[in-house]
Structure 1
Amino acid sequence: MHSAVFLIEFGAIILALGLLGRFAGRFRFSPIPLYLLAGLAFGEGGLLPLGASEEFVAIGAEIGVILLLLMLGLEYTASDLVSNLKTQYPAGLVDCAFNALPGAAAALLMGWGPVAAVVLAGVTWISSSGVIAKVLGDLGRVGNRETPVILSILVLEDLAMAVYLPIITALLAGVGWAAGGVTLAIALGAAGLVLFLAVRYGRHISRFVSSDDPEKLLLVVLGLTILVAGIAQQLQVSAAVGAFLVGIALSGEVAEGAHSLLLPLRDLFAAVFFVFFGLHTDPASIPPVLLPALALAVVTACTKIATGYWAARRAKISVKGRWRAGGALVARGEFSIVIAGLAVTAGIEPRLGPLATAYVLILVIVGPLTARFTEPVAMRVSRWRNRGDAPAAAVTAGAGIVPAPRDAQDPVVPEAEAHGTSGRASNSSS
């Protein structure tokens, strides 16, 4: 009887996710908010709470996180990561300062303590690669000149996750400074070792994993990933970081083949992960944190736009391209929920989960809108201001004063198509 109830519940969840994904695809927006809402409907305090399948959903959610990070690693080569780190690190530092600090400040202002502040900083910092890649494709901007700037920021965020997640894991586990330092040293050492091996011996690693039989390739890659993730978690590093490093170590045809084979599995278990997060969030707990979530969403939407604008200006992109870069980075999604999920599991602050849910729901919906409309709205405001300045300019000219040329202060570089982009825009999807 128990197995029958489990099959009915789990089958209903998967069917509902499929229908929701189809609905989102028809209207060309991310299904993440629908998955979260489904979790809220079937979780604690929801319309139809589940019981028999919750433990299996929890395991599926953990696999979902592992696959998300594995697929992320498969999209980059180690040399790409090292190159981005060397050339684009100033943009990464600005991104961290502009977007992590508001989350940390909000947690401290609400009296949640330093650990929750570090967690909420990560929630507000990391953009959604899946949503952004889909939006860039839908808007036909993959070849735009500002797109490599967007991708570089996203790559740096991924690299930062390899350092950030072990820190969070250690803080949530309540270990001391010495043990936390050892955990971080292990994580950094493992990341450095994997990058070195991937650069020097990546072909040999890929040749060992490679197989002409898709079934064998899938089993080897999936088994290796889960094994390494489990070892990493046992060392208090982070299962997600272990999966990310496995993805980086694989390259060439093996990475491409594994990507195509694992993509349906990732989408399935990632959807289960979002549902699981919603299951553990009481819908009644969201209204009390809705106003702080909305305020935080407004502030960090503006800071992400400022980040993209600054990075694009540094790359000598035209003014329109700067606004497009900023607007494209606003969406938060999968990794914000991953970070919040770690805190919810640890039970450090009961209001953090509902706030993160509301925050992601707002920005995963607003993100595609800012990507589409930030640049035209900014240009319209600029023209309106220029018209307002016209009488003052006429008076200045009549007085014999010649203003400085606008281009001297804000050089505009003609937009051109980029010759190539990172795999993140072409391969990521949500």
Structure 2
Amino acid sequence: MHTATVFIELGAIILTLGLLGRIGARYGLSPIPLYLLGGLAFGHGGLLPLSASEEFVATGAEIGVVLLLLMLGLEYTAADLVTNLKSQYPAGIVDFAFNALPGAAMALLLGWGPVAAVVLAGVTWISSSGVIAKVLGDLGRLGNRETPVILSILVLEDLAMAVYLPILTALLAGAGLLVGSVTLAVALATAGAVLFVALRYGRLISRFVSHDDPEKLLLVVLGLTLLVAGIAQQLQVSAAVGAFLVGIALSGEAAEGAHTLLSPLRDLFAAVFFVFFGLNTNPASIPPVLLPALALAVVTALTKIATGYWAARRAGIAVKARWRAGGALVARGEFSIVIAGLAVTAGIEPSLGPLATAYVLLLVVIGPLAARWTEPIAARLTRRGDTAAPAEPQPLAEEPGVHV
């Protein structure tokens, strides 16, 4: 009977996810806020609480995080990351200062302590690569001059996750300074070793993994990813970082084949992850944190616009494209929820999960609007400012035969 109940609940969850995804696609919305709302509806305090399938959903959510980071790693080669790190690191520093610090300040103002401040800094710092890529495609901007600047910032954020997540994992585990330093050193050494091996021997690794039979390629890549993620988790480095590094190590045909085969699995388990986060958030806990979430959303939307504008200006791009670059970076999504989910699981601060949920719900909706309207609004305000400016005095015209 218990198995039947689990099947019924899982079937209801997955069917609802499919229907919500259709609704989002019909109206041009990201499905992430809809999945979060679905989780709120099925969770404790929701309209239809589910309990029998909770353990399976929790495991599926962890697999979803691993697959999200694996697929992210498959998007890049080690050479791409090294090149971006060398050329665009000033933009990464500005991005961190403008967008992580407001989150940390908000957590401290709310009295949540330094660990929660590190968590909320990550939530407000990292933009949603998935939402932004979709918006750029929908707006036909993939070939624009500002798009490489946007992608460079996203790449730097993704690379920074390989350093940030081990630090966060150590803090959430209550590790001391010595243990935390060792964890960070292990993470950095591992990331450096993987980048070196991927640069030198990436083709050999990909050739070893690659196979003409899709079934065997799927099993090898998925098995290798889960194995490395588990070892990384055991070393307190973070399973997500381990999966990301596996993705970086693969390239060429192996990466393309794995991307094609794993995309449906990624979509399924990532959706389960967002539902799981919603399941662990009581809807009644959101209204008390709605005002701080709204304030944080407004501030960090503006700071992301400033980040994109500054980075595009540094790249010598025209003013209109600078505003487009800034507006495109506003959306937060999957990685903000991943970071908040780690804190919720560790039980750091009860209000952190609801605030992160409200924050992501706001910015995943505002993000596409900002991408579309930031440049036209800035242009209109600029024209209005030019019109309001006092006219410069003109020299007196000389009448014929009269000299002034």
TM-score, with normalisation over the residues of structure 1?
0.92
Deviation per CA, 1:68-108, whole angstroms, max 9, x where unpaired?
00000000000000000000000000000000000000000
Matches within 5 A, 1:225-304: 225-304=225-304
Q: Which residue in 2 is equivalent to 1:342?
A: 342
Counterpart CA distance in 2 for 1:110 and 1:399 is 62
Amino acid at match of 2:334: E
Counterpart CA distance in 2 for 1:237 and 1:116 is 19
Deviation per CA, 1:94-144, whole angstroms, max 9, x where unpaired?
000000000000000010000000000000000000000000000000000
Amino acid at match of 1:60: G
Q: Which residue in 1 is equivalent to 2:307?
A: 307
**Following TM superposition, by how much is the alpha carbon of 1:63 offset from its aligned partner in structure 2, in angstroms?**
0.2
Q: Which residue in 2 is equivalent to 1:64?
A: 64
**Following TM superposition, by how much is the alpha carbon of 1:399 offset from its aligned partner in structure 2, in angstroms?**
8.6
Q: Which residue in 2 is equivalent to 1:33?
A: 33
1:85 counterpart = 2:80: no
1:364 counterpart = 2:360: no
Deviation per CA, 1:194-230, whole angstroms, max 9, x where unpaired?
0000000000000110100000000000000000000
Counterpart CA distance in 2 for 1:268 and 1:393 is 60
Counterpart CA distance in 2 for 1:316 and 1:29 is 32
Number of corresponding residues: 397
Counterpart CA distance in 1 for 2:94 and 2:216 is 43
**Following TM superposition, by how much is the alpha carbon of 1:352 offset from its aligned partner in structure 2, in angstroms?**
0.3
Counterpart CA distance in 2 for 1:384 and 1:369 is 22
Matches within 5 A, 1:20-419: 20-389=20-389, 392-395=390-393, 397-398=394-395
Counterpart CA distance in 2 for 1:313 and 1:393 is 28
Counterpart CA distance in 2 for 1:394 and 1:130 is 48
Amino acid at match of 2:299: V
- Secondary structure of 2:222's aligned partner: helix
Counterpart CA distance in 2 for 1:157 and 1:253 is 26
CA RMSD of aligned residues (A): 0.9
**Following TM superposition, by how much is the alpha carbon of 1:358 offset from its aligned partner in structure 2, in angstroms?**
0.1
Unaligned runs of 5+ in 2: 398-404
- Secondary structure of 2:392's aligned partner: helix
**Following TM superposition, by how much is the alpha carbon of 1:27 offset from its aligned partner in structure 2, in angstroms?**
1.0
**Following TM superposition, by how much is the alpha carbon of 1:29 offset from its aligned partner in structure 2, in angstroms?**
1.2
Counterpart CA distance in 1 for 2:194 and 2:206 is 13
Deviation per CA, 1:361-383, whole angstroms, max 9, x where unpaired?
00000000000000000000111
Amino acid at match of 2:392: A
Counterpart CA distance in 2 for 1:291 and 1:315 is 36
- Secondary structure of 1:281's aligned partner: coil
Counterpart CA distance in 2 for 1:258 and 1:393 is 62
Counterpart CA distance in 2 for 1:226 and 1:143 is 36
Amino acid at match of 1:330: V
Counterpart CA distance in 1 for 2:89 and 2:391 is 40
TM-score, with normalisation over the residues of structure 2?
0.98
Counterpart CA distance in 1 for 2:379 and 2:395 is 28
Amino acid at match of 1:52: A
- Secondary structure of 1:393's aligned partner: coil
Moved over 3 A (4+): 397-400
Amino acid at match of 1:151: L
Unaligned runs of 5+ in 1: 401-430
Q: Which residue in 2 is equivalent to 1:17?
A: 17
Deviation per CA, 1:302-338, whole angstroms, max 9, x where unpaired?
0000000000000011000000000000000000000
**Following TM superposition, by how much is the alpha carbon of 1:393 offset from its aligned partner in structure 2, in angstroms?**
2.6
- Secondary structure of 1:394's aligned partner: coil
**Following TM superposition, by how much is the alpha carbon of 1:394 offset from its aligned partner in structure 2, in angstroms?**
3.0
- Secondary structure of 1:232's aligned partner: helix
**Following TM superposition, by how much is the alpha carbon of 1:398 offset from its aligned partner in structure 2, in angstroms?**
4.1
Does the C-alpha gap of structure 1 residues 207 and 291 become closer, same or farther in structure 2, counting only changes over 3 Å? same
**Following TM superposition, by how much is the alpha carbon of 1:28 offset from its aligned partner in structure 2, in angstroms?**
1.2
Counterpart CA distance in 2 for 1:27 and 1:362 is 17
Amino acid at match of 1:142: L
Q: Which residue in 1 is equivalent to 2:402?
A: none
Does the C-alpha gap of structure 1 residues 204 and 320 become closer, same or farther in structure 2, counting only changes over 3 Å? same
**Following TM superposition, by how much is the alpha carbon of 1:44 offset from its aligned partner in structure 2, in angstroms?**
1.0
